[in-house]
Chains A and B, each alone.
Chain A
Amino acid sequence: MKEEEQGLTTKEKDENAARRGEQALREGDLPEEEERRLLEKTWGDKPGFWGWVTSTNHKSIGKRFIITAFVFFALGGILAALMRIQLARPENTFLGPDAYNQIFTMHGTTMMFLFAIPVMEAFGIYLVPLMVGTRNVAFPRLASFSYWIYLFGGITLYTFFILNIGPDMGWFSYVPLAGPEFSPGKRVDIWSQLINFTEISALCASIEIITTAFKMRAPGLSLNRVPIFVWAMVIMSFMVTFAMPAVMTSSLFLTLDRLVGTHFYNQAEGGDPLLWQHLFWFFGHPEVYIVFIPALGYVSSIIQTFSRRRVFGYTALVLSMIATGFIGFGLWVHHMFATGLPQLGSSFFTAASMMIAIPSGIQIFCWIATLWSGRPRFKTPLIFIIGFFFIFVLGGLTGIMQASVPLDLQVHDTFFVVAHFHYVLIGGSVFPLFAAFHYWFPKFTGRMLSESLGKLTFWLMFIGFNITFFPMHQLGLQGMPRRVYTYLPQMGWGNLNLIASAGAFVLTLGVLVFVVNVLKSRRGGAIAGDNPWGADTLEWGVSSPPPSYNFFRLPVVQGREALWVRTEDAPVVEGLRTDCREILVTKTLDAEPDHKLTLPHSAPWPLMMGLAATATFISSCFTPWALPGGMVLAAIALIGWGWPKKKDEVCEPPPVEEMSDEERKREAARAQ
């Protein structure tokens, strides 16, 4: 008969357990070596392929995410290289219009949906638990699901691209061109489903990050001490939560229009093509800030470490990021200035688009001040950040130009815009991302990347990028629209296009050097040690790479720059269970310990749910039976997911009143 049914007291339960040889093991019960082994066993993945597939360790998931995102970055880059080859000469016949349309759409879709957001989420999933001083993310299985659905979405898209069902209407897919009449076949439907894949992935990861950052911080890590990186990830995650539903709605309406015959975007039946634009850009504009704000977190972290001083203006930096996130939702109409909207309304968006430069400016000034009054050390991460300054500021300035309606009406949908957004996205996100790669690679792998190869990467990328994209400003002003598969020789755009294509080659070389650097250094790089950069955030206080349990003892944080201000006798948390996955939940504002919680062990259900969702999304393009069928599959996966935990996976501590005598004795001993 089960113990609960017998109505035993806790004391009797414990005696039964002791007789069976079971005992709740807590921190401090065993000697250090044994305890570390036990923690590793508790928090590590199961061995072999199955363990890898069912992993709920945020570091495994984070690494997978980063590598997959980088593979998509490379694929997107190859597509860009193909485009530049086609555009190098006028009336080139390397790609026909259909191929070119598919390629530029895939390039945009890959970069925006399959690379930019996932890689930022990935860094968050890996680093946020470490930076806030806990053992895992708040919802480990959700993180795993987030990865699987992202991977399957990306594989689906590329598979369909290879089968000639790649989307071909631009990454923002305006209707009516993307509607049922002008885009026959399943191309747009696949793209629309990809939105579902990637947005669900992003939403899950955001919920993860917000909850981890708010509820699982180590004691002492009050909100005003939270590293700027974590703030950036939290703000980004809130933005994702509000922005993604808009694009999911718009793509749902598009799918319904195409497959069911609804009229959301059909002006003849009361719909409107502009509805698509509003819904999409309500997501689309915050999207670029979603991609940009984590990069701001990287910049702050790296500048702080490499200037050897606390970053100047912590409060201003955090508030600026919040302001950017907030104002970012009020800019979307600047993508629609040419659509005949009323002048007064457009003016608000002009003002907002210019206003958002102010928080960005404040951040730039604070960072310059940090560098000015610090002692900069020229390692690769800092060099990439300096590149960020030049490129992003230029991009931001051309953005202000386009905030003005009359000027935008001239440069909208030309290569000037292409130049602008590549400057802000590559300068503002990719350069800090490469800085972050070089900065955190030692933490992820335990090896240092080569400094000389790193610097070479930087110079090739910086020079290549500027040669590629600077002439595009000129091309736009000279009348070259975007998304053209070729152009007439007499327009005089041939030379600048050739220069841009040459620059693309240099940029590609830079990325290749980086790949070589990573491959070489993974096995052969210098051993990194715990804190090769002398940084201040908590992840640098554990080994490189961190053990599966992150911290032997959760730290108690004494100040904003956790490792820099830690004293010799810094307190730690003791008493959590070591034989099951127990974490400490703290209060949101001041991180006072609140209660303990059990996290789930490895499970195959996230993968099953990912497969179920994939099957549903793909089949729904072809038959309505996919929906009930998919529901059955999803139900199976979710039931498994939600099944109550096994007894030995539950760490519920008895309430103090019900503690057995032995446990009370142990607690008393610890208190002394």
Chain B
Amino acid sequence: MKVVSGQWSVVSKKRVCRRQKVEGRKLLVLALYCLLPTAYCLLFSSCKREERGYRVEAPAASRINSVRLTELQPGESQPYTPVKNEYEENAYAMNEGKRLFTWFNCVGCHSHGGGGIGPALMDDKWIYGSQPEQIFATIVEGRPNGMPSFRGKIPDYQVWQLAAYVRSMSAQVKSDAAPGRDDDMNVGKPEQNRSKEEPKSGSIPKSAEMP
């Protein structure tokens, strides 16, 4: 390479018209842009998770008269129709449930799921049933041996929030909606990172066994 003296001339160069290419390009960009959000939505179906419910009507799951404490029935067994608690897909609701769990002093007996005076809630043993409506009934009606009845003291929608949170303690809910850790002393893995337990209804935890 050598640096030489010479005229430095600059000639304007017309550019080739690329209109067609530009148009095709634009269409593709647009198509991509439309596809991507659809893909995301389908992949992560986030809409329910992120709703912030100031909506305080309880989920459609208020029919606690569908609660059965045992599967034993005379004659032909009626099939069990699961009750869906929409709050189990809603991160805000379960976070509220977690807040209320501390605020209403559930932790006083149940700790943060490990149990103490009351049975553990994060294990696979459920004395009175692990379904959302069964947990709702437990909170609202109270249970023998120390579980208070909160009927009239906690509004229905908050009970559903608590029920959803209780189920999240043993990872019965979707992990992307389950709560993270509290800004408090460490009490173990956050609910979103727990492994799912297989609930066994009607079983008695150690703390409830007769001495």
Do A and B touch each other in the complex, judged by CB within 8 A?
A: yes
Contact surface of A with B, Cβ cutoff 8 Å: 32, 36, 40, 47-49, 52, 98, 155-156, 159-160, 162-165, 176, 179-182, 184-187, 219, 257-261, 263, 265-269, 446, 529-530, 541-545, 547, 552-553, 555-556, 566, 569-576, 584, 593, 596, 618, 622, 653, 667, 670-671
Question: Is B12 within 8 A of A185, CB to CB?
Answer: no
Question: Is A181 within 8 A of B95, CB to CB?
Answer: yes
Question: Is B183 within 8 A of A163, CB to CB?
Answer: no
- Chain A residues contacting B142 (CB-CB under 8 Å) are none
- Chain A residues contacting B180 (CB-CB under 8 Å) are 179-181, 184, 257-259, 261
Question: Is B25 within 8 A of A541, CB to CB?
Answer: no
**Which of B44-52, B60-68, B109-117, B152-160 contacts the other chain?**
B44-52
- Chain B residues contacting A671 (CB-CB under 8 Å) are 2
Question: Is B40 within 8 A of A543, CB to CB?
Answer: no
Complex Cα gap A52–B37 (Å): 23
- Chain A residues contacting B189 (CB-CB under 8 Å) are 261
Across the interface, name the chain A residue whose C-beta is closest to B41.
Answer: A163
Instruction: Using known A-B contacts A52-B25, A162-B37, A187-B50, determine if residue A541 contacts B181 with beta carbons closer than 8 Å.
Output: no
B192 interface neighbour in A160, A259, A267, A571, Cβ under 8 Å:
A259
Question: Is A542 within 8 A of B10, CB to CB?
Answer: yes
**B132 lies within 8 A of chain A by Cβ:** no
Complex Cα gap A545–B14 (Å): 9
Question: Is A572 within 8 A of B4, CB to CB?
Answer: yes
Instruction: Using known A-B contacts A263-B186, A572-B3, A574-B1, determine if residue A164 contacts B13 with beta carbons closer than 8 Å.
Output: no
B21 interface neighbour in A47, A269, A573, A667, Cβ under 8 Å:
A47
Name the distance in Å between B193's Cβ and chain A's nearest Cβ: 6
Name the distance in Å between A633's Cβ and chain B's nearest Cβ: 16
Across the interface, name the chain A residue whose C-beta is closest to B181.
Answer: A261
A268 interface neighbour in B4, B37, B184, Cβ under 8 Å:
B184
Question: Is A181 within 8 A of B183, CB to CB?
Answer: yes
Complex Cα gap A542–B8 (Å): 11
B49 interface neighbour in A155, A186, A569, A667, Cβ under 8 Å:
A186
**B179 lies within 8 A of chain A by Cβ:** yes
Name the distance in Å between B66's Cβ and chain A's nearest Cβ: 29
- Chain B residues contacting A544 (CB-CB under 8 Å) are 12
Complex Cα gap A596–B2 (Å): 12
Complex Cα gap A596–B47 (Å): 55
Instruction: Using known A-B contacts A570-B8, A575-B1, determine if residue A180 contacts B21 with beta carbons closer than 8 Å.
Output: no
Across the interface, name the chain B residue whose C-beta is closest to A152.
Answer: B36
Instruction: Using known A-B contacts A52-B21, A545-B15, determine if residue A185 contacts B49 with beta carbons closer than 8 Å.
Output: yes
A163 interface neighbour in B25, B46, B182, Cβ under 8 Å:
B46
Question: Is A571 within 8 A of B6, CB to CB?
Answer: yes
Instruction: Using known A-B contacts A163-B37, A181-B183, determine if residue A543 contacts B50 with beta carbons closer than 8 Å.
Output: no
- Chain B residues contacting A266 (CB-CB under 8 Å) are 181, 183-184
Question: Is B46 within 8 A of A186, CB to CB?
Answer: yes
Complex Cα gap A268–B182 (Å): 10
Question: Is B44 within 8 A of A622, CB to CB?
Answer: yes
Name the distance in Å between A665's Cβ and chain B's nearest Cβ: 14
- Chain A residues contacting B3 (CB-CB under 8 Å) are 219, 556, 571-574, 593
Interface string of B181-199 (1 = CB under 8 A from A): 1111110011011000000
- Chain A residues contacting B50 (CB-CB under 8 Å) are 163-165, 185-187
Complex Cα gap A174–B21 (Å): 46
Please list 27 pairs of residues, one from A and one from B, whose beta carbons are closer than 8 Å in the complex, sorted by A's number. A49-B28, A98-B52, A160-B40, A165-B50, A176-B183, A179-B183, A181-B179, A184-B179, A184-B180, A185-B50, A187-B50, A257-B180, A261-B180, A261-B181, A261-B186, A263-B181, A266-B183, A269-B186, A446-B15, A530-B12, A553-B8, A555-B8, A570-B8, A571-B4, A574-B2, A653-B1, A667-B2
**B123 lies within 8 A of chain A by Cβ:** no
**B94 lies within 8 A of chain A by Cβ:** yes
Name the distance in Å between A272's Cβ and chain B's nearest Cβ: 11
Residues of B in contact (CB 8 Å), total 50
Complex Cα gap A618–B4 (Å): 54
Complex Cα gap A555–B5 (Å): 11
- Chain B residues contacting A566 (CB-CB under 8 Å) are 8
Across the interface, name the chain B residue whose C-beta is closest to A672.
Answer: B4
Q: Beyond the given A259-B192, A269-B186, please list 7 additional residue pairs across the A-B interface where CB-CB is below 8 A.
A: A165-B49, A182-B183, A260-B193, A552-B9, A569-B6, A571-B5, A572-B8
- Chain B residues contacting A653 (CB-CB under 8 Å) are 1
Interface string of B165-184 (1 = CB under 8 A from A): 00000000000110111111
Question: Is A36 within 8 A of B13, CB to CB?
Answer: yes
Question: Is B47 within 8 A of A164, CB to CB?
Answer: yes
Across the interface, name the chain A residue whose C-beta is closest to B38.
Answer: A159
Interface string of B38-80 (1 = CB under 8 A from A): 0011001011011110000000000000000000000000000
Instruction: Using known A-B contacts A52-B21, A186-B91, A543-B13, determine if residue A163 contacts B47 with beta carbons closer than 8 Å.
Output: yes
B190 interface neighbour in A180, A542, A670, Cβ under 8 Å:
A180
Question: Is A186 within 8 A of B13, CB to CB?
Answer: no
Name the distance in Å between B127's Cβ and chain A's nearest Cβ: 29
**B24 lies within 8 A of chain A by Cβ:** yes
Name the distance in Å between B182's Cβ and chain A's nearest Cβ: 5
Name the distance in Å between B192's Cβ and chain A's nearest Cβ: 7
Instruction: Using known A-B contacts A163-B46, A163-B50, A164-B51, determine if residue A180 contacts B2 with beta carbons closer than 8 Å.
Output: no
Complex Cα gap A596–B1 (Å): 9
5 A-B pairs with least C-beta separation? A180-B180, A575-B1, A184-B95, A185-B91, A184-B91
- Chain B residues contacting A156 (CB-CB under 8 Å) are 40
Name the distance in Å between B89's Cβ and chain A's nearest Cβ: 11
Instruction: Using known A-B contacts A160-B40, A263-B186, A530-B10, determine if residue A185 contacts B4 with beta carbons closer than 8 Å.
Output: no
Complex Cα gap A182–B183 (Å): 9
Name the distance in Å between B187's Cβ and chain A's nearest Cβ: 10
- Chain A residues contacting B186 (CB-CB under 8 Å) are 261, 263, 268-269
**B30 lies within 8 A of chain A by Cβ:** no
Name the distance in Å between A580's Cβ and chain B's nearest Cβ: 14
Complex Cα gap A573–B47 (Å): 60
**B210 lies within 8 A of chain A by Cβ:** no
Complex Cα gap A527–B185 (Å): 69
Complex Cα gap A555–B6 (Å): 11
Question: Is B13 within 8 A of A547, CB to CB?
Answer: yes
Complex Cα gap A159–B92 (Å): 20
Across the interface, name the chain B residue whose C-beta is closest to A572.
Answer: B8
Complex Cα gap A156–B46 (Å): 14
Complex Cα gap A557–B202 (Å): 88
- Chain A residues contacting B104 (CB-CB under 8 Å) are none
- Chain A residues contacting B11 (CB-CB under 8 Å) are 32, 36, 543, 552
Across the interface, name the chain B residue whose C-beta is closest to A545.
Answer: B15
- Chain B residues contacting A574 (CB-CB under 8 Å) are 1-4, 6
**B103 lies within 8 A of chain A by Cβ:** no
Complex Cα gap A179–B184 (Å): 12
Complex Cα gap A653–B2 (Å): 13
Name the distance in Å between A4's Cβ and chain B's nearest Cβ: 25
Across the interface, name the chain B residue whose C-beta is closest to A162.
Answer: B37
Name the distance in Å between A563's Cβ and chain B's nearest Cβ: 10
Question: Is B193 within 8 A of A261, CB to CB?
Answer: yes
Across the interface, name the chain A residue whose C-beta is closest to B93.
Answer: A184
